[in-house]
Amino acid sequence: MSAFTRRTAFTRRTTLLTLAMALATTVSACSGAGAGAEGKDGKMTLRWATWGSAEDAAVFKAFTDEFARKHPDITLKLEQVSSYEDYHPKLITQFTSKTAPDVVYVGDDYIGKLVADGVLAPLDERLAGPGSHSRPEDFFEGIYGGAKKDGVTYGVPNDTNPEVLWFDKKALAEAGITEDPAELNEAGRWTMATFLEMNAKLKAAGKYGSVFWNWYGANYSMVNGFGGKVWENGRFVAPSDPKARQAFKTLADGYRDKTFASADLLPEGNSAGTQFVKHKAGFYAGGRWVIENIDKGGSREGYDVVPFPSESGKPIPGAVAASYLAINKDSRHQKEAFAFLTEFVGKEGQKLRLKGGSAVPSVKGAENLVTDGGYPAHAKTFLDVRDRGFANYPDEVAVPGLTKAINDQLMKIWEGKVGFDEGMTRLQTLVDDMKGKQG
């Protein structure tokens, strides 16, 4: 899968939200911004849009049934696009033509674009108001990403999936590794040097050390693990920052000598998840959704999670995949749209939507959804990474297509299609050019 085909899969596994469900919800389009004329039954129709596949619909039935009970005067009309890649271009066109739905899902790589375009309603006053089920202090600052600009909030995270390192105790033992990464982390001794040493032992044992997807979650978590910088004062500095460059060089060398595997390049029949459950890799970078891969392998025994390591062993900010719910600034139904948004992202809404799923709630007070059941043993790691983590950088997501362009350029380096030094130079030029055109 490509990085954002994987991002689509992430979304499908987490928030994601197909919602073709029993709620008088249809997928037919309406004309006009937030078109919500009263129907023959006197109800107001609230349009909302997301991406996803119909297989996820059952996850949301409890929430939508509850919303219908509380708001008998509102009919929800879903406008769903199956493909993540197709959804946002359509949404941008709708905003341009003033035909966008009242409430919209926005991915973390597009939220900055819509905020910059001025098409989303500011939410702070309503979020702090008496009708709010999702107050600003209920969410973690780092996961807003590009949904905030100049201190103003334009989107609220629906839920999240923090990027962690899953590890297979059997694979580690077969490589002669006796230390447990999670125990090292708890002792403050989970360092980048230790992680790389374990990867070398796994390779020597005929296994992959780690499997990574080529996306900002894994790439920038590695940069943070080396103590590097990606963006600084509005400029992309990763190609010139010494420690960021060291992180990228470590990844490039690891892909070249097969210490690391790129999940994007593995064949479907021998995918990253398959490699991991067959004990052919020691570490697999991913979110809570990896549980689904493990369950398909037949047994949960021997798998656990640990954050990305740091130079010192102290915790670092890790990447958190997120998407956002936002309101069309031109909607004629601001009150009803906010009622839907705040109940959807609020604590009770997330408990209804995420129960039994593989997402991590974005709101405080719903942590039991992750920790109940005791799997994996260090499930609290997901919450720890969420609490101190970061969604993709606002400067990056403000430029449509920039994240994908960065990933594509990095993939050329990982595959050896361009030399490392030349690749870093090209990466800096690419980002500068795209930022310049945007600005």
* DSSP string for 17-67: -----TTT-------STT-----TTSPEEEEEEEE--GGGGGGGHHHHHHH
pLDDT, tens only, 88-136: 999 999 999 999 999 999 999 899 999 999 999 999 999 999 999 999 9
Contacts for 111 with CB less than 8 Å, ≥ 6 apart: 145, 146, 147, 154, 155, 324, 326, 397
Q: Which pLDDT score, from 0 to 100, does residue 365 have?
A: 94
Q: Is the pLDDT of residue 20 over 70?
A: no
- In single-letter form, the type of residue at position 84 comes to Y
Q: Which pLDDT score, from 0 to 100, does residue 321 have?
A: 95
Residue matched to tokens 């990982």: 414
CA 75 to chain centre: 29
- Looking at the chain, the whole-number percentage of residues with pLDDT higher than 70 is 89
CA 223 to chain centre: 17
What is the rounded end-to-end Cα distance, in angstroms, of the chain? 32
Q: Which pLDDT score, from 0 to 100, does residue 12 have?
A: 37
How far is residue 221's CA from residue 227's CA, in Å, rounded to a whole number?
10
Q: Which pLDDT score, from 0 to 100, does residue 336 have?
A: 97
pLDDT, tens only, 245-291: 999 999 999 999 999 999 999 988 889 999 999 999 999 999 999 99
Banded pLDDT at 41 (limits 50, 70, 90): low
Whether omega before 400 lies within 30 degrees of 0, making that bond cis, reads: no
How far is residue 307's CA from residue 222's CA, in Å, rounded to a whole number?
11
Q: Which pLDDT score, from 0 to 100, does residue 439 have?
A: 64
Q: Is the pLDDT of residue 4 over 80?
A: no
Domain 164-318+399-438 CATH superfamily: Periplasmic binding protein-like II (3.40.190.10)
- In single-letter form, the type of residue at position 154 comes to Y
Q: Which pLDDT score, from 0 to 100, does residue 57 have?
A: 58
Q: Which pLDDT score, from 0 to 100, does residue 33 have?
A: 47
The residue that leads in pLDDT, 203 or 20, is 203
Domain 3-162+322-387 CATH superfamily: Periplasmic binding protein-like II (3.40.190.10)
The residue that leads in pLDDT, 78 or 91, is 91
pTM of the full predicted structure?
Answer: 0.90
Residue 315 exposed, middle or buried by CB count within 10 Å (0-12, 13-18, 19+): middle
Q: Is the pLDDT of residue 414 over 90?
A: yes
Element housing 424 (H / E): helix 420-438
Q: Which pLDDT score, from 0 to 100, does residue 40 have?
A: 55
How far is residue 11's CA from residue 2's CA, in Å, rounded to a whole number?
14
As a whole number, the mean pLDDT across the chain is 89
The CATH 3.40.190.10 portion of the chain extends over: 3-162+322-387, 164-318+399-438
Give yes or no for a contact between 376 and 305, defined as CB atoms under 8 angstroms apart: yes
Q: Which pLDDT score, from 0 to 100, does residue 43 have?
A: 87
Q: What is the mean pLDDT of residues 24-47?
A: 56
SS3 129: coil
Q: Is the pLDDT of residue 202 over 70?
A: yes
Q: What are phi and psi of 50, to 5 degrees?
A: -155, -175
